[in-house]
């Protein structure tokens, strides 16, 4: 591990020993990187000049902000960042009454192939390092001057397809010597990679797990999400149950409503039956149409009827507010439009 912003304090202590310096410096460096959010060693004024020079062998990951778009409707901001290898990723800042929430990407692109999702169209380029996940939050907090209190790993990429880096990211983000974001305020969304859900249940973390369900049966789910060919609902839902049993954290089930595909009352009925013994709530997302696919958003009446049915039958349900609709709402859309502009110029 040479990526200094992905190192734990213990790993930094070992590095200090290797560099012939004192282990207590580790905490100071950690605090500069993860609490004060600096991007260069020169800002670490309580370190000796000679240590700062030696540390320059270990470049500090810092994302470059290349574009910010602000919604005129609700103030939501989309950030486009450039990574050191030239790839670009996007993150979203949403301001709620209960605090600021950042939605981060976990990979450059994605290989899960969900049919309605813009992030997956060019496939997977690479996984993000823990430091690159952290820095999306750090750069946003630094640039707004407002504390980030919630983090959702719901941007581009499948977090469970980048498992080890995800776990390290969560531990660093919730470390009391860093940004100290409570694990209870961190949500990870997955398309449903069963062995990884079971593994996550054993990590001793108290984060919220969100499952992208999107259909009440395997057949419909397969038409929307290729991962449904690998894991059936009879495997995914027990894994979620296990996650709840081990962590005590209630689950979130995401259900993107697509006109004529999964939005009628029969589907609402079967969804109710499927989830009646699950400890969790359903988050309905009116599908955000992307130009590469011809999926349509359900109309308002269908959405309200679907919600009404679930509510009436004892399922907790919320409709996701469509934040930042005017700035390319769905995940991966801003990056996608940026890349195709680059291609055509
Ligand atoms: N790979 C993870 C997280 C990324 S997407 C996952 O699959 O959960 C976060 C959520 O947005 C997922 O539920 C995803 O299915 C959904 N989503 C992606 N594109 C969408 C779109 N165009 N409209 C509505 N929901 C979308």
The string of DSSP codes covering 295-311 is --BPPHHHHHHHHHHHH
Q: What is the pLDDT of residues 250-282, one digit of tens each?
A: 999 999 999 999 999 999 999 999 999 898 999
3-state secondary structure of 250: coil
Nearest to 109 by CA among 93, 89, 79: 89
Q: Cα(3)–Cα(36) distance, rounded to whole angstroms?
A: 18
Question: Per residue in 238-268, is it b (16+ CB within 10 Å) or e — as a string?
Answer: ebbbbbbeebebebbbbbbbbbebbbeeebb
Q: What is the pLDDT along the chain (345 residues), one digit of tens a residue?
A: 689 999 999 999 999 999 999 999 999 999 999 999 999 999 999 999 999 999 999 999 999 999 999 998 888 999 999 999 999 999 999 999 999 999 999 999 999 999 999 999 999 999 999 999 999 999 999 999 999 999 999 999 999 999 999 999 999 999 999 999 999 999 999 999 999 999 999 999 999 999 999 999 999 999 999 999 999 999 999 999 999 999 999 999 999 999 999 999 999 999 999 999 898 999 999 998 888 888 999 999 999 999 999 999 999 999 987 667 677 655 566 676 666 655 554
Work out which ligand 1 atom sits closest to the CA atom of 191.
7
* Overall pTM surpassing 0.85 (yes/no): yes
Kindly list the distances between the CA atom of residue 57 and the CA atoms of 22, 51, 63, 305, in Å, as whole numbers in the listed order.
Answer: 18, 11, 18, 59
Residue 331 falls in the annotated catalytic set:
yes
Catalytic residue among 219, 235, 331, 343: 331
Atom of ligand 1 nearest to the CA of 156: 4
> How far is it, in rounded angstroms, from Cα 285 to Cα 159?
20
Enter the DSSP assignment of 160. Answer: G
Q: Rounded CA gap, 28 and 37, in Å?
A: 12
Q: Following DSSP, what letter does each residue of 1-30 receive, concatenated?
A: ---GGG--HHHHHHHHHHTT--TTHHHHHH
Atom of ligand 1 nearest to the CA of 117: 19
Tell the residue nearest (CA) to atom 13 of ligand 1: 212
Quick one: 323 exposed, middle or buried, by C-beta within 10 A (0-12, 13-18, 19+)? buried
Quick: pLDDT tens for 154-212: 999 999 999 999 999 999 999 999 999 999 999 999 999 999 999 999 999 999 999 99
Q: Are 160 and 196 in contact (CB under 8 A)?
A: yes
Nearest CA to ligand 1 atom 21: 288
Q: Tokens standing for 141?
A: 């907090």
Instruction: Verify whether residue 90 is a known catalytic residue.
Output: yes
């Amino acid at each position: 591990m040479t990526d200094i912003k992905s190192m734990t304090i213990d790993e930094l202590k070992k590095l200090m020993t290797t560099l012939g310096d004192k282990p207590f410096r580790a905490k100071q460096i950690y605090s500069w990187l993860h609490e004060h959010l600096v991007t260069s060693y020169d800002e670490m004024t309580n370190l000796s000049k000679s240590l700062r020079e030696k540390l320059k062998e270990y470049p500090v990951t810092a994302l470059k902000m290349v574009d910010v778009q602000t919604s005129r409707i609700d103030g939501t901001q989309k950030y486009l960042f450039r990574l050191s290898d030239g790839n670009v990723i996007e993150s979203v800042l949403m301001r709620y009454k209960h605090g600021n929430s950042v939605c981060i990407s976990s990979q450059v692109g994605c290989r899960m192939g969900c049919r309605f999702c813009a992030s997956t169209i060019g496939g997977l380029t690479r996984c993000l390092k823990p430091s690159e996940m952290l820095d999306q939050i750090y750069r946003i907090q630094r640039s707004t001057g407002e504390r980030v209190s919630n983090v959702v790993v719901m941007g581009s990429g499948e977090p469970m397809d980048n498992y080890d880096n995800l776990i390290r990211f969560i531990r660093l983000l919730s470390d009391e010597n860093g940004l100290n974001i409570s694990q209870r305020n961190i949500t990870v969304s997955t398309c449903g990679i069963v062995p990884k859900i079971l593994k996550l249940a054993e990590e001793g973390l108290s984060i919220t797990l969100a499952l992208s369900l999107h259909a009440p049966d395997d057949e419909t789910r397969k038409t929307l999400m290729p991962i449904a060919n690998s894991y059936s609902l009879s495997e995914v839902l027990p894994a979620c149950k296990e996650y709840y049993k081990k962590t005590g954290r209630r689950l979130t089930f995401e259900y993107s409503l697509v006109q004529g595909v999964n939005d009628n009352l029969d589907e609402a009925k079967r969804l109710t039956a499927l989830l009646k013994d699950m400890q969790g709530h359903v988050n309905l997302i009116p599908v955000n149409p992307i130009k590469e696919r011809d999926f349509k958003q359900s109309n308002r009446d269908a959405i309200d009827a679907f919600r009404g049915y679930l509510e009436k039958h004892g399922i907790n349900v919320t409709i996701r507010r469509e934040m930042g609709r005017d700035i390319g709402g769905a995940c991966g859309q801003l990056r996608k439009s940026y890349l195709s502009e680059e291609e055509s110029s």
